[in-house]
Amino acid sequence: MAREVSTGRKALVTAVAWGIGLLIFFPILWTVLTSFKTEGEAVAPHPSFLFFDWTLENYETVNARSDYLLHFWNSVVIALGSTLVGLLIAIPAAWSMAFVPGRRTKDLLMWMLSTKMMPAVGVLVPIYLLARDTGLLDTRVGLVAVLTLVNLPIIVWMLYTYFKEIPGEILEAARMDGASLGSEILYVLTPMAVPGIASTLLLNVILAWNESFWTLNLTAANAAPLTAFIASYSSPEGLFYAKLSAASTMAIAPILILGWFSQKQLVRGLTFGAVK
């Protein structure tokens, strides 16, 4: 039975919800708009909302600085790299816990989760010194390694909750039909696991892209991803609002779009399956 709602009430709810939604979204909208202004208009005492001379010069300026592209590329490599390595390690682990559970599987899962609870600052010094002494400080390889480990528990957990939903009877049926373990994984499990793996990949790329403790502390000029590059704008020099906006817009746009596609997975991934 669908609930009857008066049009008047629906209109009111719509107006309030859109108002609040736009208010929350406003800082992002304002950044995007400012990125199309000239520096002069960006700091005008009476800022204009839409009626200014739209320009792309800030994007050109930011892109012309070759280091912007380097940092963008660093972000891509670090976010994708740590996610793919993480998946490579986590898929077999999650598979085994979901389909060949032992008596200790639950404890193991909880223990993996507990490693995520450790505040980063508690291991900042040793990780920094280890990275320095192994020459991995300010390298993409070093950051990929650290972020892989930081997010591995979330990857394992997400995959586990997805794999858990694949009915075990299908595997038994395949086994009775004489499928070997290899073909069982390849032809039966993989097709069913692909959506779960894809969601995990998406969420983890977002988390790694925005990770801001290790990326800020372990990088300098060479391997700094966008998080660290943009943080370096924190001491303003001259007129830079419009360029800052352009750099920011480019840094958040890809993830914003990915994020909107992954709303559902976000809930599951970030609550470790406690809310679905």
Partner 1 sequence: MATQASRITGRLMLSPAVILLLLWMIVPLAMTIYFSLLRFNLLMPGTEAFAGFENYQYFFTDPSFWPALANTLTLLLGVLAITVVGGIGLAVLLDQPMWGQGIVRILVIAPFFVMPSVSALVWKNMLMNPVNGLFAALARGLGLTPVDFFADVPLASIIVIVAWQWLPFATLILLTAMQSLDQEQMEAAEMDGAGWFWRFLHLTLPHLTRAITVVVLIQTIFLLSVFAEILVTTNGGPGTASTTLTFLVYMQSMLQFDVGLGSAGGIVAVILANIVAVFLMRMIGKNLEG
Q: Which residue has the tokens 């700094």?
A: 224
User: What's the maximum distance between 2 C-alpha atoms anywhere in the chain?
Assistant: 76
Contact call for residue 222 and partner 1 (CB under 8 A):
no
* One of 78, 143, 244, 246 touching partner 1 (CB under 8 A): 244
Encoded amino acid at 98, one letter? A
Give whichever of 122 and 191 is closer to partner 1, judged by the CB atom: 122
Shortest Cβ distance from residue 187 to partner 1 (Å)? Answer: 17
Q: How far apart (Å, rounded) are the C-alpha atoms in residues 99 and 217?
A: 39
Give whichever of 65 and 106 is closer to partner 1, judged by the CB atom: 106
Give whichever of 57 and 273 is closer to partner 1, judged by the CB atom: 273
Shortest Cβ distance from residue 164 to partner 1 (Å)? Answer: 10
Give whichever of 57 and 184 is closer to partner 1, judged by the CB atom: 184
Shortest Cβ distance from residue 53 to partner 1 (Å)? Answer: 19
Q: How far apart (Å, rounded) are the C-alpha atoms in residues 41 and 202?
A: 37
Q: How far apart (Å, rounded) are the C-alpha atoms in residues 195 and 253?
A: 24
Encoded amino acid at 4, one letter? E
Shortest Cβ distance from residue 22 to partner 1 (Å)? Answer: 6
* One of 136, 154, 230, 246 touching partner 1 (CB under 8 A): 230
* One of 8, 133, 191, 234 touching partner 1 (CB under 8 A): 234
Contact call for residue 20 and partner 1 (CB under 8 A):
yes
Contact call for residue 220 and partner 1 (CB under 8 A):
no
Contact call for residue 61 and partner 1 (CB under 8 A):
no
Structure tokens at 96: 């085994």
42-50, 63-71, 133-141, 192-200 -> range binding partner 1 (CB under 8 A) = 42-50
Q: How far apart (Å, rounded) are the C-alpha atoms in residues 245 and 242?
A: 5
CA angle 5, 7, 12 (to 5 degrees): 100
* One of 50, 100, 176, 220 touching partner 1 (CB under 8 A): 100
Contact call for residue 24 and partner 1 (CB under 8 A):
yes
For the beta carbon of residue 62, count every other beta carbon within 10 angstroms.
21
Is residue 162 within 8 Å of 96, Cβ to Cβ?
no
Q: How far apart (Å, rounded) are the C-alpha atoms in residues 190 and 187?
A: 6
Q: How far apart (Å, rounded) are the C-alpha atoms in residues 182 and 120?
A: 39
* One of 115, 134, 190, 222 touching partner 1 (CB under 8 A): 115
User: What does the per-residue mask of binding to partner 1 show for 161-200, with x meaning CB under 8 A?
Assistant: -----------x--------x-------------------
54-62, 66-74, 186-194, 233-241 -> range binding partner 1 (CB under 8 A) = 233-241
CA-based nearest residue to 250, from 81, 53, 71, 82: 71
Q: How far apart (Å, rounded) are the C-alpha atoms in residues 100 and 9?
A: 53
Shortest Cβ distance from residue 49 to partner 1 (Å)? Answer: 10
Q: Which residue has the tokens 């303003």?
A: 236
